[in-house]
Chains A and B, each alone.
Chain A
C-alpha cells in the first residue's frame, strides 16, 4: 500500500511543530486562546460599557479540571474512531479469508470429481 499521503501529512505536522518550537523559543508569545480574545476587542470597541447578558451556568473550577474535560472529550472521540476502524479492518480481513477458503475448497472439489 502506498504511504504517500501519510508522508505528506507527517511533513505538514513536522513543519507545524517546528514553527511552534521556533516561535515559542524566540518570542515571549503567551499562546492564549483566540476564543477569549474577542472580549478585549469588544471592550476596546464599546469602551468597556458592554456587560455580558449571561454568565456560564457552571465553570471548571481550575485549568486542571478544564484540561481534564477537554482530554475526556478527545478520548471519547478517539476511542470511537479506533473502535470502528478496527472493527472494519478485522471484518474485511476475515471476510476475505472466508471468501478465499470457500473458493479454494470449491476448486478442490471440482478437481476431485
Chain B
C-alpha cells in the first residue's frame, strides 16, 4: 500500500496531506490526554505500536505470486481508536520512508490516510457493530482487522486511480478503468494476507484479555460481562 516517493503528482499529494494532518494532530492531542490521565495504558500502547512495526515489516508471499504486507493497525484501532492509530502509523511510515525508501515523504499524507486513518476507521466501526450484535469477541476482532487491512489497499488503489485516470482526464469512467488496474495489483493479493492478519490479531487479543483485561474494561473496549464470559471459556 506504500505509494512510492514521487508517484503522486501535484495537487494530489498536497490534498492527501491536507486530509491527514488534522487527523494526526487530533490523534496527538488525544494521545497526550490519554497518557496523562491513564499512565497504566502505556505498556499496551507500546504493544499496539510494536505490532504495527512487526506486521508492516513482513512482506508475505500471496497466492497471486507477488508479495505484500499486512498493516497491523487493527489492534491499535480497536484499543485506542483511529486517531491515535494514525499517529502510530505515521511513525512507522516515516521510518520506512527515511530508511527503507519504502513509501516516501511526498506520499506520506496519502499513505497515512490509507494505512493510518481509513483502515483503522473501518476496523473500529466493524468492531463496535460486531460487539453490539454480541458476536464472539475474537471473531469480531478477526473481521475488523481483516477488513481494515483490505480497506487500506482499496484506498491506495483509489488514490492512484484518482491521480492517474485512464486517458489522462479525470472522469468517472477513466477513474474506474484505472481503479480496476490498481486494484488488480493490490486487492486480490491482499485477501489471504488480510485473513492471516485477522487471525494473528485475534490471538494477540486473547493474551491481552488473559493478562490485562481490567485495562480493556477501563478503556471501554470490552464490557465486564464479556470479559467474564471469555475468561470462563478459556479458563
CB within 8 Å of B: which residues of A?
Answer: 1-2, 5-6, 8-9, 12-13, 16, 19-20, 23-24, 27, 29-39, 41-42, 44-46, 50, 52-60, 66, 69-71, 73-74, 76-81, 84-85, 87-89, 92
Verify A77–B51 contact, CB threshold 8 A: yes
8 contacts between A and B (CB under 8 A): A29-B64, A39-B4, A50-B164, A56-B104, A60-B99, A60-B100, A71-B57, A80-B47
Tell me the nearest residue of chain B to A80, going by C-beta. B50
Verify B178–A52 contact, CB threshold 8 A: no
Q: For the side of the interface on B, what is the size category?
A: 35 or more
Task: Name the one of B52, B69, B178, B206 contacting A5, with C-beta atoms under 8 angstroms.
Answer: B206
Chain A proximity mask over B197-235: 1 for CB below 8 Å, otherwise 0 = 001101110110011100000000000000000000111
Which chain B residues numbered 1 to 17 have a C-beta less than 8 Å away from chain A?
1-10, 13
Is B130 part of the contact surface with A, judged by Cβ < 8 Å? no
Q: How far in angstroms is the closest Cβ of chain A from B88? A: 11
CA distance A14 to B178 in the complex (A): 35
Verify B1–A16 contact, CB threshold 8 A: no
Q: How far in angstroms is the closest Cβ of chain B from A5? A: 5
Known: A16-B192, A54-B104, A88-B211. A35 touches B68 (CB 8 A): yes
Is B73 part of the contact surface with A, judged by Cβ < 8 Å? no
Verify B7–A38 contact, CB threshold 8 A: yes
Verify A42–B6 contact, CB threshold 8 A: no
Verify A16–B54 contact, CB threshold 8 A: no
Which chain B residues numbered 26 to 67 have a C-beta less than 8 Å away from chain A?
43-44, 46-47, 49-54, 56-59, 61-67
Q: How far in angstroms is the closest Cβ of chain A from B68? A: 4
Q: Which of B77-85, B121-129, B180-188 contacts A (4 or more CB under 8 A)?
A: B180-188
Q: How far in angstroms is the closest Cβ of chain B from A36? A: 7
Verify A46–B164 contact, CB threshold 8 A: yes
CA distance A59 to B96 in the complex (A): 10
Verify B61–A24 contact, CB threshold 8 A: yes
Is B18 part of the contact surface with A, judged by Cβ < 8 Å? no
Task: Name the one of B5, B63, B95, B203 contacting A73, with C-beta atoms under 8 angstroms.
Answer: B95
CA distance A57 to B106 in the complex (A): 11
Verify B160–A81 contact, CB threshold 8 A: no
Task: Name the one of B53, B58, B61, B102 contacting A35, with C-beta atoms under 8 angstroms.
Answer: B102
Tell me the nearest residue of chain A to B107, going by C-beta. A54
CA distance A45 to B53 in the complex (A): 33
Verify A78–B6 contact, CB threshold 8 A: no
- Chain A residues with CB below 8 A from B99, complex form: 58, 60, 69
Verify A38–B3 contact, CB threshold 8 A: yes
Known: A34-B66, A53-B9. A78 touches B50 (CB 8 A): yes
Known: A34-B189, A50-B9, A56-B101. A81 touches B51 (CB 8 A): yes
CA distance A30 to B189 in the complex (A): 13
Known: A53-B106, A55-B6, A73-B53. A85 touches B189 (CB 8 A): no
- Chain A residues with CB below 8 A from B52, complex form: 77
- Chain B residues with CB below 8 A from A45, complex form: 164-166, 178, 181
Known: A2-B233, A80-B50. A52 touches B67 (CB 8 A): no
- Chain A residues with CB below 8 A from B10, complex form: 53
